[in-house]
Amino acid sequence: MKRELISVIVPVHNGQAYLENCIDSIAGQSYDNLEILIVNDGSTDQTADICGNLQEKYRNLQEKYRDLQVFTLADVGVSAARNYAMERAKGDFLTFVDADDRLCPGTLAFLYERILSADSDLAGCRFAVWGTETEWERVCRAVSAEKTDGGGAVGTETGKNTETIKERCFDRQQYLTGSILKDNCRCWSKLYRRRLVDKVRFREGLTVGEDMLFLVDILPHLNKAVETEYPGYGYYQNPAGVMQRPFTPSYMDQIQCWETAQEQILRMNESLKPQTAAKIITSVMLTVGKIALCSGKERRAADTYLVQCRQKLKEQRKVPGSGAYLPEGYRFKAQLFYYLPGVYVWLYRELQMLKKH
C-alpha cells in the first residue's frame, strides 16, 4: 500500500558547497513517497547549476519520488522562500531541511511512523551537530547502531526498536511550556501534518527567530505533538551560517520575534509572562554579545542598538519572577550589562579574545 506523500522543502542561498549532499541525503531516505522542493533564493554562486544537475540526476527516479522541483526567487529571504514552497507543496505531510544540513537515511520514515502511532499533528527528533565528513559518518553510524536487540516494536523502515527510543507526547499547552519555552524552537527536524500548517506561514522579513515564531503561530491549530530522542537530523556547524556572522542590524530580529511571541503567548496564558520575559532577556544578551565582538568603529556605529537593547532589558527586568527562568550565567550578564553597559561590552570582548588564544 502506497504511503502518503511527504513534501521536503529546502531553501538555499549560495549553497554550492553543500546542496548536493543535502539533497542526496533526502533522496536516500527509506521512505518511498517524497517530493523535494528546492527554492534557490537569489544565489550568486553556482547553486543554480547544481540545481539543474540535481534535476537531471533524479529525473529517472520519478517512480519513487513524485518530483524534484526547483524554484528560483530574487533573494526574498528564508521565510518567504519556505512560504513559496509551502504554497506549491502537494504532500499530506511537510518537513523543512536547511540546505547545509542532512538527514540520516531512516529519519522521515521514523517520524512518519511516530505521527501515525501517536495520532499526533507533528513529530520531532533530536539533531546531531557535525562539521566534517568524518563527523557526519560518525553520526550516521551512531544512528544505525541503535538497532533492536529483540523484544520490541521495530520501525519497519528504520530497523529501530521504537520502545527503546525515548519520546514525549504533548498537548497544545504542554508543547508551549515543555518544548518551545524549553528551547526546542526549530522548525526543522520535525514532520508536520499538512492540516496543521495549512493556514500558517512564516513571518517574512525576519532572519533570526522566525523558526520559533512559526511554532508559536501553529499552536492554535495543534492538538497533539510528539518529540523523540531519535538523533536523525544532521545540523551542519556552518562557519558561514547566520549565527556565526558578525553583527548586523538583522540580529535585532531575534528580540523582535520573542516580543511578538510574548504577545501571542500571553493571549493564550497570561501566567507565562515571566518565562517569555526571560526569553527576551536572553535574546537581548545574545545580541549584545554580537555587538561586543565588533571592531571599535563598528561598535560605535552600533551604539543605538546597544541603547535599544538596554531599554528592552529594563522593560523585561521589571516583570516579577523573570530572573528565576534565566540560567545563572545570564542573570549575572544581564545585571552587569544593565548597570555597567560599557564595562560589560569591553569585558565580554576581552574574554572572547582570550578564549581564541
Spatial distance between the Cα atoms of 65 and 6, rounded to a whole number of angstroms: 10
Is it the case that residue 215 has pLDDT exceeding 60? yes
Cell of 308: 535599544
Do the Cβ atoms of 162 and 152 come closer than 8 Å? yes
pLDDT of 355 strictly over 70: yes
In words, the CATH class of domain 6-243 is alpha beta
Segment 285-300 shows an average pLDDT of 89
CA distance 218 to 198: 9
Predicted confidence band of residue 240 (pLDDT cuts 50, 70, 90):
low
Instruction: Determine contact, residues 190/97, Cβ cutoff 8 Å.
Output: no
Sketch the domain layout of the chain as residue ranges.
6-243, 246-356
Specify whether the CB–CB gap between 209 and 236 falls below 8 A. no
Residue keyed to cell 550568486: 44
Predicted local confidence at residue 210, as pLDDT: 93
SS3 119: coil
Q: Whole-angstrom Cα distance, residue 314 to residue 303?
A: 17
The three three-digit cell numbers of residue 330, written as one number: 545570564
Smallest Cα–Cα separation from 20: which of 10, 6, 35?
Answer: 10
- Beta-bridge partner residues of 35: 7, 67
Task: Tell me the percentage of the chain whose pLDDT exceeds 90.
Answer: 78
Q: Render pLDDT for 70-118 as a digit per residue (tens, 0 to 9).
A: 999 998 999 999 999 999 999 999 999 999 999 999 999 999 999 999 9
Most confident of 140-144, 162-166, 318-322: 318-322
pLDDT tens, residue by residue, 20-42: 999 999 999 999 899 999 999 99
- For residue 45 the three cell numbers come to 554562486
Cβ neighbours of residue 85 closer than 8 Å, sequence gap 6 or more: 7, 9, 11, 37, 39, 71
Q: Which amino acid is at 297?
A: K
Closest CA to 288 of 225, 343, 226: 343
Please tell me the pTM assigned to this model.
Answer: 0.89
Q: How far apart are CA 29 and CA 105, in angstroms?
A: 5
